[in-house]
Structure 1
Amino acid sequence: MAKGRHYYIRKLHRYLGLILGVQFLFWTLGGMYFSWNNIDEVHGDQLRKGKRFFPANLNMASPQVALQELKKTTTVDSIKAIQLIEILGAPTYQINYFTKTEEVNKGLVVSGSHGGGHAGGGSKVQLANAETGQLRSSLSKNEAVRLAQYNVVEPALVEKVEYMTEVGSHHEYREKPLPAWAITFKQPSCTVYISTELGTFQAIRHNQWRVFDFLWMLHTMDFQGRDNFGNLLLKAFSVLGLITVLSGFMLYFVSSPTFRRKKNARR
């Protein structure tokens, strides 16, 4: 009876180890990469210029001036948020608002920060000069390039520029506001993403981040979008991993000479 139990436990442990071995290797490699890399460098902070702030004596028009200008051409039902941002050194109001129809339906609309087609999701966004209150248009290609260069360390040599209205679930700019400009630099080697409607720097991607992102996908076993820790595959492998460890402990005890001697002594 003991011999048969030993045999089946060993066989279970061997096949579970074979099935899970590759994934355990991915988890180990990923964990090593995550722990040996500075997360700030992965985020590309070393490729960005330091954050700048507005002077305290800045003269600004009231946001109400910009709202009145906006209401001349648009029905503004409610305000979601008004933020002061910088666009190429100029103080700018970023007005996030709902029209009447959008106010009714906003609870059914997925936020644009999670990959929606509009930068503001169910709401709309309007930019305005904060010093005069005058409305301004979304970022042009030239402005987006200048804004990217404005934020990236020198020499900031542009290689190519792409306008994006949609991205896939595996794209490095996934779950970010669209439309956006993607500005790829030859030096430093990276790609900067600028939101067209929000007028802001959204993300910077480089090779260190891309390796991290790939290993993160293998780590979470979410091969659709990377970040779903509740996916069925990960749960299944977690349970199988626990069974593998427990079968290893059982195999040790049933095959241990000390355990066998004690068992025979009790007979």
Structure 2
Amino acid sequence: MKILKLSTQLHKWIALVVGLQVLFWVGGGLVMTAIPIETVRGEHRAVELKPGPLELGALPALGEIARRAGVAPVQAELHSTPRGPAWTLKPAAGEPVIVSAATGRPFGPMSAAEVSAFAKRAYKGEAGVSGAVLLTTAPEETGRTGPLWRVDFADREKTSFYLSPATGEVVTRRSGVWRIFDFFWRLHVMDWNDGEDFNHPLIIITTALTLSIVVSGFILLWIRISRDVKTARAARKRAP
């Protein structure tokens, strides 16, 4: 029974190597499917704000705005913000520039009280603001760069809203639920840095080894079932 012995040894040792990761896959998959994705994204805490009307006739032309801003945009977007209408000017090279659509100049700095009011307006719930801080570097969990305001709410999910320091817009939402989901996601894809790479060599090798466990397990099952069937048949033949 060389095949049986080989399959048993292969199944046992590979299972010891990848068993913990298989547990992470199953456990992480359970967590990620049990938590609604809308809750993870914090959609239940977001008020659907309708953009205010833009009175184009009262605003300077785009060419004048670009001249005042000192930007030669290849793309421009006009939109409403909590601080009034704004142009996002995208030059051929470099980062987009956000300016007031009324003045063509960058918006001034916001106070903690002002940004807290903007966040509270966009928040759905009864919890109050527990803190507001201007971060010079966007945290990794936001997936963004540059400075951001972070406003925390005293709800059970520990919700945090991240707002643009230029326009006061909520650019992303995070919470304790999101962080739990993100932790299990990183374990699931075996990318413990940022959870972005889900087809790297380590997970491919581990998946291949896990497949060998399944295949060797089926081989063991087939051999043992065949042996039990033969034993049962032999016992019936010996019976009087």
TM class, shorter-length: 0.7 to 0.9
Residue equivalent to 1:243: 212
Q: Distance in 1 between matches of 2:43 and 2:69?
A: 40
1:207 to 157, 176, 192: 176
Residue matched to 1:184? 152
Match of 1:126 among 86, 89, 98: 98
Correspondent of 1:82 among 77, 86, 94: 77
Deviation readout 1:168-193 (Å, 9 max, x if unpaired): 6xx322x2242111111224631110
RMSD across aligned C-alpha pairs, in angstroms?
Answer: 2.7
The range that moved more, 152-161 or 27-36, is 152-161
User: Relative to structure 1, is the Cα distance of residues 38 and 78 closer, same or farther in structure 2, using a 3 angstrom cutoff?
Assistant: same
- State the Cα distance separating 1:70 from its structure 2 match: 4.2
Contact persistence 1:161–1:183 (CA under 8 A): yes
Instruction: State the 1:139 CA deviation.
Output: 4.7
Superposition misfits of 4+ residues, deviation over 6 angstroms: none
* CA 1:182–1:167: 2 relative to 1, 3 Å: same
Q: Which amino acid aligns with 2:219?
A: M
Larger Rg: 2
Q: Partner letter of residue 157 of structure 1? A: G
- Pairs within 5 Å for 1:62-211: 65=61, 67-72=63-68, 74=70, 76-87=71-82, 90=84, 92-98=85-91, 103=92, 106=93, 122-129=94-101, 132-133=102-103, 135-142=105-112, 143-167=114-138, 171-173=140-142, 175-187=143-155, 189-197=158-166, 199-211=168-180
The answer for unaligned runs of 5 or more in structure 1 is 107-121, 263-267
1:207-253 CA distances to partner (integer Å, 9 max, x unpaired)? 11111111111111111110211222111111111111111111222
Q: Is contact 1:66–1:133 with CA below 8 Å preserved after alignment? A: no
Partner of 2:42: 44
186-195 or 208-217: which moved more? 186-195
Q: Percent identity?
A: 22
Relative to the length of structure 1, the TM-score reads 0.75
Q: How many residues end up aligned between the 2 structures?
A: 230
Seen in structure 2, the aligned counterparts of structure 1 residues 251 and 198 have a Cα distance that, compared at 3 Å, is farther
C-alpha distance 93-62 of structure 1, shift in aligned 2 (>3 A): farther
- Secondary structure of the equivalent of 1:53? coil
- What is the CA–CA distance in structure 2 between the aligned matches of 1:213 and 1:95, rounded to whole Å? 31
TM-score by length of 2: 0.83
